[in-house]
């Protein structure tokens, strides 16, 4: 059974070093405007041209539709500063699949925070959303994002050529996925 409490409010999650909590709309906006480094934000199918994610559509009007969850903001435990975000998007209820999008401020990169977050997201997606497949799509040039997906245990599956237009440029997407069937809880 899908844990349907997540439809009212995203639960707060703790990892070894991080605290994740639902971004209030204002903070989501701030993060989007802040956007210090577009390259740190994974580009995905439903991202808007200015690199802000499409956030929190009216949830679950159709039982077999496609839905986005609101994003979690990521902060370092015992700190209040929001250093990044992550969110499930394109949750296809019929097919038990969803995509993940994430981004982190440049000065907090290369410390494994995003990998740690993704590990938590996989656990959440497989256990509480009952997903079978979780996907990350990143622009072919975004090596940092691809590395995070790999480090989180996702397998690269496909290169979709000229799949998205990003600010006038047309880009290939690399597709990574983790399957519930192959995933082991830590």
Partner 1 sequence: MRIEDIFQDLPVLQTERLRLRKLSMHDVEDVFAYASSPEVARYVVWTAHETIEDSRTFVASVLEQYDNGVISPWGIENRDNGRLIGTCGFASWNISHARAEIGYALGREYWGRGYMTEAARHALAFGFEHMGLNRIQARCEVDNVGSARVMEKIGMSYEGTLRQQMFVKGTYRDMKMYSVLRRDWR
Given a contact cutoff of 8 angstroms between Cβ atoms, the answer to whether 127 and 65 are in contact is: no
Q: Contacting partner 1 (CB under 8 A), which of 17, 34, 77, 94?
A: 94
Please give the residues from 22 up to 61 whose contact with partner 1 meets the rule CB under 8 A: none
Which H or E element spans position 168? none
For residue 112, the cross-strand partners are none
Which single residue is written with the structure tokens 């699949």? 97
Q: Contacting partner 1 (CB under 8 A), which of 19, 108, 133, 147?
A: 133
CB nearer to partner 1: give 64 or 80. 64
Q: Contacting partner 1 (CB under 8 A), which of 17, 34, 77, 95?
A: 95
Given a contact cutoff of 8 angstroms between Cβ atoms, the answer to whether 138 and 145 are in contact is: yes
Given a contact cutoff of 8 angstroms between Cβ atoms, the answer to whether 8 and 73 are in contact is: no
CB nearer to partner 1: give 97 or 125. 97
Please give the residues from 103 up to 132 whose contact with partner 1 meets the rule CB under 8 A: 132
CA-to-CA dists, residue 62 to 66, 88, 93, angstroms: 8, 17, 9
CB nearer to partner 1: give 23 or 98. 98
Measured CA to CA, the distance from residue 156 to residue 153 in angstroms comes to: 10
As a whole number of angstroms, the longest Cα–Cα distance in the chain is 43
Query: Which stretch, 77-85, 112-120, 122-130, 164-172, contacts partner 1 (CB under 8 A)?
Result: 164-172
Residues that bind partner 1 (CB under 8 A): 94-97, 132-133, 135, 155, 157-165, 170, 175, 177, 179, 181
């Amino acid at each position: 059974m899908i844990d349907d409490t997540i439809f009212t409010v995203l639960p707060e999650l703790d990892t070894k070093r991080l605290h994740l909590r639902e971004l209030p709309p204002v903070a989501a906006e701030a993060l989007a405007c802040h956007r210090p480094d577009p390259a740190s934000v994974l580009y995905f199918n439903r991202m808007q041209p200015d690199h802000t994610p499409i956030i929190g559509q009216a949830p679950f009007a159709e039982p077999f539709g496609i839905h986005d969850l609101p994003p979690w903001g990521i902060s370092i435990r015992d700190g209040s500063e929001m250093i990044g975000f992550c969110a499930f998007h394109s949750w296809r209820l019929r097919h038990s699949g969803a995509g993940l999008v994430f981004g982190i401020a440049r000065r907090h990169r290369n410390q494994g925070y995003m990998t740690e977050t993704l590990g938590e997201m996989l656990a959440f997606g497989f256990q509480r959303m009952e997903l079978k497949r979780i996907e990350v799509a990143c622009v072919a040039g975004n090596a940092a994002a691809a590395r995070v997906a790999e480090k989180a245990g996702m397998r690269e599956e496909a290169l979709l050529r000229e799949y998205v237009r990003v600010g006038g440029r047309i880009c290939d997407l690399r597709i990574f996925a983790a399957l519930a069937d192959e995933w082991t809880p830590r």
